[in-house]
Each structure stands twice: as structure tokens, then as C-alpha cells.
Amino acid sequence: MSPTPIGPSDASVSPRYAGIATFARLPRLEDVDHADIVVVGVPFDSGVSYRPGARFGPAHVREASRLLRPYNPVQDVEPFSTQQIADAGDIAANPFSIEEAVGQIEEAATHLGAGDTRLLTIGGDHTIALPLLRAVTKKTGPVAVLHFDAHLDTWDTYFGAPVTHGTPFRRASEEGLIDLETSLHIGIRGPLYSQQDLTDDARLGFAVIAAHEFETAGLATVIERMLARLGDRPVYVSVDIDVLDPAHAPGTGTPEAGGLTSRELLTIIRALRGVRIVGADVVEVAPAYDHAQITAVAASHVAYEILSAMTPRADQTGN
């Protein structure tokens, strides 16, 4: 780790609305000699089943992230000062071939995440979680997947296609990428095709904390159950922005009523500060359906809290 990381550009020298829109105004990867964490975009949405547009998500989230500041008072860390974080730009993925795109994403993520470097990826649709898991587990072995979403994303196929934004965690489980005892969905809600969806999901290795349980169990209990489930396993965090209620994230492809508030989601992510996060993604931001950057602002803060949770602290090891 560099003793003097290069942080965001100084907003008192260059206004936040000026300059290249890297995430949080961080340096580009080519401008630093190494990176402990790389933020990278994947502008790909050929795997969506309803409203398209998440291919424009990385740029939209970066634009909203201009307002982020260096010190996180709730987590009491300066994520950009204690580790080198850099923006690698976008991974180019073929928009006409899901199979080829998945291969391109896996190859690029493997390269960017070589050694001790960890990735925070901005999507794009949830299809990209599969190649990202393939890349990270080459280093870690099976991981506990902490999946925030309105939907299970463990369905088998859509129109005969085995790799879409609704299937990545079934494929990942079948490939042995997921720890079957510690993985967890949070925020699941809305109608399913049948009860068999839940039976299949449990067989594939996931426990579920549904959105309605936030009302009955409370946020503190949700966090307690989450941490107990994850244990001391390496954790991959995958956040579909539609885990938030459409009031907090209208700009997404498959919205469902009754979701989390942005405050609830940020609080849960802050509880991960003692967890060994080996990689993460924030996906399904579709700016064409956004209003006043509501969704992008939420997504940029989610990413910021994940980066803060990934920040090493003097009183813990493993991050």
C-alpha cells in the first residue's frame, strides 16, 4: 500500500462539476503506480428482461459521485487517504453477444484484479456478476455472496438463454463459485413464478431476508442475521439498485414496490466494516428512468460506503 495515496481532485481548486468524471473525482488508473482498489465500469445491458438502459449506468453514477467527499463520518474513515483507489474507466463488452461479453468482462476483471487489488464494479445489468465472480474466485475460491436485490436472480433461463440478468447466481452456484452455507439475499420482494423458485434458491446455497422482514424484525436484527450468516468467509457484495424502493431508485429496469429506503441500505452496508470484502458491484442503474439523479446519487453513496467498509483499520486485519 502506498504511504501517500493520490486522492480526489481538490474541489477548492477545481469545481466538482469540472474535469473528467471519474468516480468521486479519483485519479485514473494510468495516473497511479498501483491501486489497492480499482473502480471500473461495465456499460453492458444486453441481458435485461424488461427495461433497457443500464449500459449508461457507469457514466451516470460517476457524474453523481462528483459530490462525494474524502471523510466518512459514520464509518470514521478516509477511504481515499489510507489506500490507493483509482478509476480504470470502462470494460468494453460486445453488446451483440452475451457469451463474448461475459468472456471479455472476466478477462478484464482478472487482469485488473491481479495480485491484492480488489474491484468495485459499476454496471451495467446484473449479468456481469457472473464473470466478476469467475474472476475473483480464481484468487479466493468460493465466496459468500451478499446479494442486495428485489429479485432472486437464480432463475434457470429466459427464452432459453442461460446467462441473463436473472440467472447469474444460479450459474455461479452450479460452477462452484458460491459458498453454499454462507450466501444471502437481502431485500427480496414481489411476486414469483411459483414456490419452486424459493426451493431452487435454497438448494443453490442462499438464505433470504425479505424486504417485508424489515418491518417485522427491524434493522438491527437484519444486520445481526446477516453478519451471523456471513461469518468469517471472504465476501462478494452485489447490489442491484432495485433493492431500493422505486421512491428512492426509480431509474432501474425492473422496479418493485415495497423496497428498502436508501438510509436502510447504507446502514446495512456500514455494518460490513469488519467483513473481508473481496470484491463488489453496484448494478442496474438505468438513467433514462431516473429523475434529478435520485438513483445515481443513491448508487454513488452505496459505492462510497462499500469502499469505506473495504478500508483497512488499525483495529482489524483481513481487509
The tens-digit pLDDT sequence of the chain (319 residues) is: 446 899 998 888 888 898 889 999 999 999 999 999 999 999 999 999 999 999 999 999 999 999 999 999 999 999 999 999 999 999 999 999 999 999 999 999 999 999 999 999 999 999 999 999 999 999 999 999 999 999 999 999 999 999 999 999 999 999 999 999 999 999 999 999 999 999 999 999 999 999 999 999 999 999 999 999 999 999 999 999 999 999 999 999 999 999 999 999 999 999 999 999 999 999 999 999 999 999 999 999 999 999 999 999 766 544 4
C-alpha 189: how far from its chain's center?
Answer: 19
Number of other residues whose CB lies within 10 A of the CB of residue 317: 8
pLDDT in tens, 32-41: 999 999 999 9
What is the maximum alpha-carbon separation in the chain? 57
pLDDT for the residue numbered 319? 44
Nearest alpha-carbon partner for 276 in 313, 303, 304, 221: 313
C-alpha to C-alpha distance for 195 and 167, rounded to whole angstroms: 17
pLDDT for the residue numbered 14? 84
pLDDT in tens, 248-267: 999 999 999 999 999 999 99
pLDDT for the residue numbered 318? 44
C-alpha to C-alpha distance for 249 and 291, rounded to whole angstroms: 9
CATH homologous superfamily of 23-309: Ureohydrolase domain (3.40.800.10)
Domain boundaries along the sequence of the chain:
23-309
